[in-house]
Structure 1
């Protein structure tokens, strides 16, 4: 069950872990893939959404979020424009509960690259995809004029968010869990 009392399907497994400092955790593990074309939004989302950022590499960041018996391992992966290497996306997407694409909702947003990532995710992942659109400087989306014509695919749903607000990031994670539950086979 997630924070909303929903049964979460898919690649969720039971686990018991100890952090070596006498604190243990037992519950369900699930992996979430967060993809973006710019590093700053990935960092901002991870810091807002996670209880802890456990690894920071050049193109991959890993965080953790515990939500009512679930431990989400969140992989934030950078795919800047012009980067041809997408094998990390394929490997993580195959086993993830779902994915989140951080999309800059502004004229300078790279719509072509975003659509390429959505298409690639659709081909390699079973789980749903949330496109988390944010306004300039990570701000929430404006209430009017929010149409860009971005193709989102069959598995995707578009949501707005504020990268700077931990509650907004939590809402995106809960929306992804709910979407995964909705699309679970009976």
Structure 2
């Protein structure tokens, strides 16, 4: 596999610190922020990000699937494991690794909005707007990909491999 580093670990961590500050400023009341990690891809981003958010933060995790295998989304989102926390009366911050087709974020916004939260916001490590199939608002993003690259590292995978890489790499050829 031929790859090219597009974001170093230092760049990622610096941007996550800035993002944590942006997120902290956006919540002006004392209500808790329920940060929901969409497993597995967002776990590295999530653990770094929640440490940078000021105020009361509650953590929860969920597993969704929209990738059958390989590099493309099936477009059908299914919940594998849901959260345990009640979202009613809380700020909900969905933390995703990459916003690609938009199907997952659309599904999650609709799902959580029905449960009476104060609000539902989305933070992602990477935004890939050129591959959107449905409208998906992203409130906080670390980086925007400028071309429709397939990327690995820092939680992002290819068939469950390469999540442990500390940088984000563009896959030039498999």
- Return the TM-score normalized by structure 1: 0.44
Q: Which has the higher strand share?
A: 2
- Return the TM-score normalized by structure 2: 0.46
Q: Which has the higher helix share?
A: 1
